[in-house]
Amino acid sequence: MTQTIDEPLVRHIGKLSRIELTDEQVSTFGRQMSAILDYFGKLSELDTDGVEPMAHAVELRNVLADDVPGQSLTPEAALANAPKRDGDFFMVPKVIGDSQ
């Protein structure tokens, strides 16, 4: 299955994508898109009877540990290396609004 993506189609796709394409890019993308369609043509030749649809090629499973509460840091331990603090809070430079 050989399908050629012609220049007007590539330019139309570029316009829909809101990108300007040079003549060289139109030529390159046309060849690349044609090659992609050829590959899909090869895939459509495969016999997939009896193959169950899947979301991923490999089986995925959650490998995270259970969320178990543990001992928390004291405010003193959490703030031990803080460059600046205000009581039990970190002091950071102001990032919103006027810097004064």
Mean pLDDT by 10 residues, the chain (100 residues): 81 95 95 92 88 84 87 92 92 79
Start-to-end CA distance of the chain, whole Å, equals 68
Q: What's the pLDDT at 99?
A: 56
Q: What's the pLDDT at 97?
A: 79
Structural element, H or E, at residue 85: strand 85-86
**What is the reported pTM?**
0.48
Task: Measure Cα distances from 89 to 10, 27, 46, 77, 93 in Å.
Answer: 57, 60, 63, 12, 13
> What confidence tens digit (pLDDT) does each residue in 45-68 have?
889 898 888 888 888 888 888 889
Please state, in angstroms and rounded to a whole number, the distance separating the CA atoms of residues 10 and 27.
8
Q: What's the pLDDT at 20?
A: 95
All structural domains of the chain, each given as residue ranges with its CATH number in brackets, are 7-44 (1.10.20)
Q: What's the pLDDT at 21?
A: 95
